[in-house]
Amino acid sequence: MSSQPPLIRLENISKSFGKVHANRDVSLEIVQGKILALLGENGAGKSTLMSVLAGQLQPDEGTIYLNGEPVQFTTTEKAISAGIGMVYQHFKLVDAMSVAENVFLGQKGGFWLKKAEMARVVEELADEYGMKVNPGARISDLSMGERQQVEILKLLHRKSTVLIFDEPTAVLTPNEAENLFATMKIMVERGKGIVFISHKLEEVMAAADNIAILRRGEIVDSVPVAEVASTAELAERMVGREVLLQVEREPLEPLQTVLKVQGLSGPHLKDINLELRQGEILGLVGVAGNGQKPLVEAVSGLTKPPRDSITILGLEWQRFFRKAGWDKALSYIPEDRQGLATCQGLDLLDNFLLTTCRGFTRGVWLKKELAREKINTLIGEFDIRPTDSTAFAWQLSGGNLQKMVLAREFYREPRFIVAEQPTQGLDIAATEDVWNLLLKAREQAGILLVTGDLSEALTLCDRIGVMYNGRIVETFRTDDKVKVDQIPQMMAGLEIG
């Protein structure tokens, strides 16, 4: 047996935020040439633990060992210098700069190199790790998968030996995810150690060598992937109960039309036509950047469409948004849960009141204690952690923040719901809960579901519309097997024979 120490050993790491214990006495190892999957429910402490390793946070207790020697990463710069690199869900790139300029940005002497030399270095590094990206391309012109490659190239150029991937496939197409896993395989073959945080258990089973599971801030299981029989067993280890991620979608009779879009054109949209009725879920699928965002913004009231192109609940767009009440109308669940759906500096009560305050007012008075009673009830029903309405939004994990947004919006009993990536970043148990909530909500509402998860669309939706280059290529029922099989070609804009 080799006596070589692991690249990183975390020993008895604890971290709290006030009364919230994010990590309790956590110990784990990151080994050279292996992929460690770090799993856990939303709020289990995964991101906090990795932020400690990356130098963003300081532990209250415990020690980090680098190649067997104790170290302190008091800044992110010290962690990076020691070879620790993190690929975040939200990329930290300068859109106006080229790929090569972003890779060299912030490194001593980088900009003294000529552009041609920078491009050569980046191209050779990309070839070494099986990545295809143009060093001269501007970041703003790249797909999400290509941008992620640039983030990885930045770390590889800094000679990172430990790379942390936090939900890396959340914004990728299936092909881009496959390319990422191929790159990760080359990395471990070259002696890197990788930490892979994901809620997609199929990916974990396919890519990882070892698994560590966090529950409420503590390591509850550590096991080689080879000893786990199935994703169902892995889910049970993670959640502590059987989770099948199966829902029953009973067919409902569609009732009145809640949304009608006729000939909608504009920036990034071309002649959009669709209709949505109460009792059904219409899914919009497609590679990110093909018009989903501007369409959602138009029907949700964020941007003004051409006159007479959108009708909501029987009212022309402008009249609807002038007259709509706070409840039994439209609920929008945005993809950007931190910047648009919530205010990070407000507590959960005030975030709840952002869209529900008119339900708790009498004249000029706000019945805040009544609102607090309601949000406390919803916190329990939706299993939001921490279970404290005085906690600030920034203290919640991304998944728990999403559950708070869902609790708030479903409380409004909407008749039309726009749900944009509603389960992105949620653990398997929370995803199952959200799926059931959406299916229950369609009894009283029509739901426009924008998702990058094709299996989610096929599970929940009655109909699917595929978007490409600002158009809805085709809309069809999910029981149309021929059309469903053609979805990948439609998403790529290929002609269907």
Summarised one tens digit per residue, pLDDT across range 323-370 is 889 999 999 999 888 888 999 999 999 999 999 999 999 998 999 999
Does residue 174 surpass a pLDDT of 90? no
Q: Which residue has the higher pLDDT, 210 or 287?
A: 210
Residues 41-67: what's their mean pLDDT?
93
pLDDT tier at 3, thresholds 50, 70, 90: low
Question: What is the 8-class DSSP label of residue 183?
Answer: H
Q: Compute the average pLDDT of residues 160-180.
A: 86
Residue-level pLDDT at 112: 64
For residue range 10-45, what is the model confidence (pLDDT) as tens digits?
A: 999 999 988 788 999 999 999 999 999 999 988 889
- Mean residue pLDDT of the chain comes to 91
Domain boundaries, the chain: 8-239, 257-491
Mean pLDDT, range 428-433, rounded to an integer:
84
Quick check: do 8-239 and 257-491 share a fold? Answer: yes
Q: Band of the pLDDT at 469, cuts 50, 70, 90?
A: very high
Report pTM: 0.76
Task: Give the model's pLDDT for residue 52.
Answer: 96
Beta strand 310-312 with 315-316 is antiparallel
Residue 322 is predicted with a pLDDT of 93
At 456 the pLDDT is 92
Minimum mean pLDDT among 1-5, 247-251, 262-266, 395-399: which range? Answer: 1-5
Looking at the chain, the whole-number percentage of residues with pLDDT higher than 90 is: 70
Third-level CATH fold of 8-239: Rossmann fold (3.40.50)
Asked if residue 108 has pLDDT above 70, the reply is no
Give me the pLDDT at residue 1, please: 43
Peptide bond into 386 cis (omega under 30): yes
The pLDDT value recorded for residue 431 is: 87
Instruction: Determine the pLDDT at residue 244.
Output: 65
What is 257-491's CATH number, 3.40.50.300, 3.40.50.620, 3.30.70.1450, 3.40.50.150? 3.40.50.300
What's the pLDDT at 318?
95
CA-wise closest residue to 317 among 262, 237, 394: 262
Q: How does pLDDT run across 230-249, given as a tens digit for each residue?
A: 998 998 898 887 776 678 88
Cβ burial 4-35 (10 Å sphere, 16+ → b, else e): eebbbbbeebbbeeeebbbbbebebbbbbebb
Q: What is the mean pLDDT of residues 303-330?
A: 94
| Residue 147 reports pLDDT greater than 80 | yes
Residues 379-388: what's their mean pLDDT? 89
The helix/strand count (H/E) of the chain reads as 17, 22
Interatomic CA distance for residues 391 and 20, integer angstroms: 9
Range 80-92 average pLDDT: 88
Q: Give the position of tokens 């529950």.
A: 215
- Alpha helices of 10-138 — where are they, by DSSP H? 46-53, 76-81, 99-104, 115-128
- DSSP annotation of 470: T
Q: Backbone phi, then psi, for 200, in 5-degree steps?
A: -90, 100
**Listed residue (141, 213, 132, 140) closest to 178, CA to CA:** 132
Are the C-beta atoms of 137 and 96 separated by less than 8 Å? no
> At 454, which amino acid appears?
L
Rounded mean pLDDT of 290-308? 94
3-state helix, strand, coil in the chain (%, to 5): 35, 25, 40
For residue 182, what are its two tokens? 């191929």
Whether the pLDDT of residue 111 is over 60: the answer is no
* Residue 474 near residue 465, CB atoms below 8 Å: yes
The total number of residues shown for the chain amounts to: 497
Let me know: does 409 contact 417? Beta carbons within 8 Å.
yes
**Residue 444: what pLDDT?**
95
Run of H or E including 393: none
